[in-house]
Amino acid sequence: MKHMQNNEQNSSTKPLKVLVVEDEIIIAINICNSLQKIGYLTEYSNSGEDAIVTFSTWNPDIILMDIMLGSGMDGVETAEKIHKTSNVPIIYLTAYSDQATLSRAKITDPFGYLIKPFHGRELFIAIEMAIYKNKSIQGFKDIQQRLFESQKLESIGLLSSGIAHEINNPLMSIINFSILGEEDAVKIDNPKMKKYFEVIRIESERISTVVKNLMNYSREDKDFSNWIFIEELMQDSLALFKQLLIRDNISVEFKVEEPLPKIFCNSQKIKQVILNLISSSRSAILENKDTSNKFIHIKCKKINKNNNDFVQIIFENSGIYLPDNDGLDINKLFNHNLQNFSTTELGYYLSMGIIAEHKGTIMTQVENNQTNIIIELPINSTISHSSNNIAI
């Protein structure tokens, strides 16, 4: 049996949801009434089995669990089952304070332990402390996970750099010997052999380009800025994704409308933005159920705004669209809720800080279910160093 009781909700504050698991219905109702008076939403169950069902459908923020629940599962068993799928904080309520009961309860890592009878103020403090402690623990775990991912990416970067160096040495030998083979084939007038060596050289040079890109991407000088051609960064980035996009049957078109000047930027960070957006475009396309025409079109041109010159980069793709700019919530990046983002959104959001650092702009346009991502970078600018910049 279960019973839900609601209090009036403040329109600006989402009240906490408290599930009371208590086999004495009168006690459960009294606890719920006390909690409603201080602003909580409440629901109660009078058995462990019913509590598990109620938990899965109502998704409370915290559970007040009586240890002794009559027939069926007791509170400790119920908590163990709930904690197999959730880290919701649980506070035990019990009239028994013997060591055996306490020892069993401790196994399930409770956030509190109240001895009946207790006052409403004690219950309020216990709930607020449990919620705060749970948020702190989850935040710490999230930071640990981010640090682990960061260290893993750094290790991958070092590993890829080492592998690239190891590949580069024999690769240079293959290229050199293929050139010698071509020359010898010409000397003995053997066009077929010359063609074989030419193919070996061309394919080896393609591998060399990928190796060079891996080495550049894993470089340590993340804060180094210089004058570069945006076309070179784009071509290097596309080379890393080429085989993956071919495998996914995604056509790629890259156009430069006119010769572009160099721009002063942190080339590694701008390349990261390009990689983010190519990856995001690919993810958006793969998430789209319409697979009839999968494409990524990238256009670069020079524009003038308010007597200032910019390089404009337009990414078009046939994937599901990103949220409009008015719907962007950059604060979501800083509140431990990155799991709420899709892969498509994440690459876009994490590129915003880098573009802002370069005093540029990034925006989305959605037309006929087609996403356009537009970047405008000043050709001559001083790069800022804001502490809020984010890169992946």
- d(CA 205, CA 186) in angstroms, rounded, equals 21
Q: Are 358 and 377 in contact (CB under 8 A)?
A: yes
**Cβ(282)–Cβ(302) below 8 Å:** no
Q: Is the pLDDT of residue 269 over 80?
A: yes
Q: What span, in angstroms and rounded, lies between the C-alpha atoms of 147 and 211?
A: 27
- Whether the predicted pLDDT of 223 surpasses 60: no
CA gap 322, 33 in Å, rounded: 44
Residue 213 CA, chain-centre distance (Å), reads 24
| pLDDT surpasses 90 at 138 | no
Residue 213 reports pLDDT greater than 80: no
Residue 102 has pLDDT above 80, yes or no: no
Share of the chain above pLDDT 70, in %: 75
Residue 334 has pLDDT above 50, yes or no: no
Q: Is the pLDDT of residue 201 over 80?
A: yes
What b/e readout covers 176-191, taking b as 16+ CB neighbours within 10 angstroms? Answer: eebeebbeebeeeeee
pLDDT, one tens digit per residue, over 272-303 is 888 888 888 888 788 777 778 899 999 999 99
Please give the share of the chain, as a percent, with pLDDT higher than 90. Answer: 24
d(Cα 204, Cα 184) in Å, to the nearest integer? Answer: 19
Cα 233 to chain centroid distance, Å, stands at 24
Checking if the pLDDT of 384 tops 60, the result is no
SS3 55: helix
Give the start-to-end residue ranges of the domains of the chain.
2-118, 139-220, 221-392
Over the stretch 346-358, which tens digit does the pLDDT of each residue have? 667 778 878 888 8
Nearest to 37 by CA among 117, 113, 119: 119
> Using CA atoms, how far apart are residues 292 and 315, in angstroms rounded to an integer?
19
Domain 221-392 in this protein, CATH class: alpha beta
Lowest mean pLDDT: which of 197-211, 257-271, 333-347, 375-389? 333-347
* Predicted confidence (pLDDT) per residue in 104-130, tens digit: 788 888 888 888 888 888 889 999 999
Nearest to 233 by CA among 183, 185, 188, 268: 268
DSSP result, 229-265: -HHHHHHHHHHHHHHHHHHTT-EEEEEESSPPPPEEE
- Give pLDDT, residue 134: 85
State the average pLDDT over residues 26-41. Answer: 92
Asked if pLDDT for residue 83 goes beyond 60, the answer is: yes
CA angle 85, 148, 90 (to 5 degrees): 30
Give the start-end residues of each E strand in the chain.
Answer: 2-5, 17-21, 41-45, 62-66, 90-94, 112-115, 226-228, 251-256, 263-265, 295-305, 308-317, 361-367, 370-378
Paired strand residues for 228: 263
Measured CA to CA, the distance from residue 230 to residue 102 in angstroms comes to 66
How high is the mean pLDDT of the chain? 78
Tokens 């156009």 belong to which residue? 255
To which CATH superfamily is domain 2-118 assigned? Answer: Response regulator (3.40.50.2300)
Task: Write phi, then psi, for 389 (nearest 5 degrees).
Answer: -70, 140
Q: With 0-12 CB in 10 A as exposed, 13-18 as middle and 19+ as buried, what is 262?
A: middle
The answer to whether residue 220 scores a pLDDT higher than 50 is no
pTM, two decimal places = 0.45
DSSP for 311-354, please give it. EEEEEEESSPPPPPGGG--GGGGGTT-GGGS-HHHHHHHHHHHH
Contact 167, 204 (CB under 8 A): no
